[in-house]
Amino acid sequence: MRMRVVGRVAAVWRYPVKSMAGEPLDAAGVSWHGVAGDRRWAFIRDGMVRSGFPWLTLRELPTMGLYRPRFAEPDRPDGSPTRVRTPSGAELDVVDPVLAAELGHGVRVIKQDRGVFDTLPLSLITTQTLAGLGARVGAALDVRRFRPNLLIEAPDGGPFPEDAWVGSVLRLGGARVRVDKRDQRCVVVDVDPATGRRDPAVLRAIAREREACLGVYGSTVQPGIVQTGDEVVLEL
């Protein structure tokens, strides 16, 4: 098998609660169900239990990204209490009814040990893609707007290098990840992660320039540890 270094891991995130802020990590275990602890909690909208998409997300509540969850025991997230710092500065347990009530009438929380994913358990984007889209929008774009698990710096791959990785396997530290498909975007990318305000120009640019896709989805081929600074190797 031939291999080629295509970049390095610039940042790693997990999202303990679906649609809330991400938790930056120096290193993370990647299992068959994605990054350990990723999207293990989610809130369900009132009256939507039987819906195909019952989740309360940034689509419905743009300020949801201002809530900052964390695991009390970060090294073992699946058995750890989950705390959420609210925009007002209060810290609540994720299962506290006060938190659900603050998010909306009739909202309730669930836990899913395999994660609550819209499509696939891993998402990747490159710094080059952020710069390329930013040039088209005319502004620097915060990577948190796109909610990736892995940010990769791939300096020799052109402006959108991850598109060429679809169908291939990447080695990142001790893990191997198959790049399955491009990431089709929705209005979530319009939400500024720092303010909760919407800017429809972002999704418009992705739709116009990128067929509504930005970044890629992946799935685990070999579980392992990924940490910032790890080489990203493309299996040829």
Other CB atoms within 10 Å distance of the CB of residue 34: 26
Q: What is the DSSP string of 11-31?
A: EEEE-SBTTS--EEESEEEEE
Rounded CA gap, 118 and 121, in Å? 8
> Looking at residue 157, what is its pLDDT?
80
Once rounded to an integer, what is the mean pLDDT over residues 84-104? 97
Domain range for 198? 3-235
User: What digits encode the pLDDT tens for the residues 28-49?
Assistant: 999 999 999 999 999 999 988 7
Please, are residues 218 and 164 in contact by the beta-carbon 8 Å criterion? Answer: no
The first and second tokens of residue 191, run together, are 């939400």
- Whether the predicted pLDDT of 132 surpasses 90: yes
For the chain, the domain total comes to 1
* Nearest partner of 134 among 195, 60, 65, 199, judged by Cα: 199
Query: Residue 80 is which amino acid?
Result: S
CA angle 226, 228, 233 (to 5 degrees): 60
Place of tokens 């116009």: 208
Q: How many CB atoms lie within 10 A of CB 110?
A: 15
More confident call, 80 vs 153: 153
Question: What is the number of helices (H) and of strands (E) in the chain?
Answer: 3, 16
Mean pLDDT value across residues 5-29: 97
Buried (b) or exposed (e) across 154-177, using 16+ Cβ within 10 A?
beebeebbbbebeeebbbbbebbb
Q: What is the pLDDT of residues 103-112, one digit of tens each?
A: 999 999 999 9
Interval 185-217: pLDDT, tens? 999 999 999 999 999 999 999 999 999 999 999
17: which 2 tokens? Answer: 């609660």
The band of 156, judged by pLDDT with boundaries at 50, 70 and 90, is confident
> What CATH number did the domain enclosing 153 receive?
2.40.33.20
Q: CA of 186: how far to CAs of 7, 31, 64, 71, in Å?
A: 27, 26, 16, 28
Rounded to an integer, what distance in angstroms lies between the CA atom of residue 232 and that of residue 48? 41
Cα gap 24→218, rounded to integer Å? 19
Q: Report the mean per-residue pLDDT for the chain.
A: 95
